[in-house]
């Protein structure tokens, strides 16, 4: 199938991938832009995973304030070098993540940060509810895992749907940045404050 320059350009704007990678993905997807973007994301996840072990000691702390100062977020996003930390793409990502935290109130960065006792409480409550509804034993565990996955997509920043494109997770948006910069990127921590909220 013949892929046009316009199709390649559209895919590049959508994903930030190189010309040849865009052309190959479009050929593989028979010209379907969404399918090609998915192919690039999946290939990118493999590359991004290879960078995840590299130390990210540079970065930026971004501040976001909303509602005339009624809500505020501070987030630390790290990368490997000051050069990448100063790029507009990196700074935009950090700001977008602060906005994400403001909008969605996650409690943890990733599932690895969730205390085991919280996970066990969720599993136990889901299991009891499924059994009380009379669900067969053989499907209870699937229900428990499904509810746990839903819980993690609400409380873990990396598992949340991205506020600007709910078809994508925050982790996928970060992987795009890792591919674009060629450096490991991580969200180290965040705090969210809302006027009048109860303190722990």
Domain 58-110+156-194 -> CATH class: alpha beta
The yes-or-no verdict on residue 46 having pLDDT over 50 is no
> What's the average model confidence in pLDDT over 67-95?
92
The model's pLDDT over 163-176, given as tens digits with 9 standing for 90+, comes to: 999 999 999 999 88
For residue 161, list its beta bridge partners.
Answer: 169
Using only C-alpha atoms, the chain has a radius of gyration, in whole angstroms, of: 20
Q: What pLDDT does 88 receive?
A: 93
Q: How many CB atoms lie within 10 A of CB 103?
A: 15
**CA–CA distance, 101 with 105 (Å, rounded to integer):** 5
**Beta partners for residue 70, in sequence order:** none
Fold of 115-154: GTP Cyclohydrolase I; Chain A, domain 1 (1.10.286)
Torsion sign, CA atoms 110, 116, 120, 121: negative
Q: 94-123: per-residue pLDDT in tens?
A: 999 999 999 999 999 999 999 999 999 999
| Token pair listed for 135 | 């669900």
- What's the fold here for domain 5-51? Helicase, Ruva Protein; domain 3 (1.10.8)
In the chain, where the domains are located? 5-51, 58-110+156-194, 115-154
Examine the pLDDT at 48 and tell me if it is beyond 60.
no
């Amino acid at each position: 199938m013949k892929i046009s320059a316009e199709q390649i350009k559209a895919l590049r704007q959508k994903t930030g991938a190189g010309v040849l990678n865009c052309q190959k993905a479009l050929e593989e997807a028979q010209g379907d832009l969404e399918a090609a973007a998915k192919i690039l994301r999946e290939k990118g996840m493999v590359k991004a995973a290879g960078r995840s072990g590299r130390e990210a000691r540079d970065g930026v702390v971004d501040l976001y304030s909303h509602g005339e100062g009624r809500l505020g977020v501070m987030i630390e996003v790290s990368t490997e070098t000051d050069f990448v930390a100063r790029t507009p793409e990196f700074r935009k990502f950090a700001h977008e993540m602060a906005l994400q935290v403001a909008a969605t109130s996650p409690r943890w960065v990733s599932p690895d940060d969730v205390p085991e006792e919280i996970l066990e409480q969720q599993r136990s409550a889901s299991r009891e509810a499924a059994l009380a509804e009379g669900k067969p034993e053989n499907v209870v565990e699937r229900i428990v895992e499904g509810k746990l996955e839903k819980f993690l997509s609400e409380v873990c920043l990396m598992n949340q749907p991205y506020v600007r494109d709910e078809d994508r997770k925050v982790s996928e948006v970060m992987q795009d940045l890792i591919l674009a910069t060629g450096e490991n990127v991580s969200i180290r921590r965040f705090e969210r404050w809302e006027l009048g909220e109860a303190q722990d």
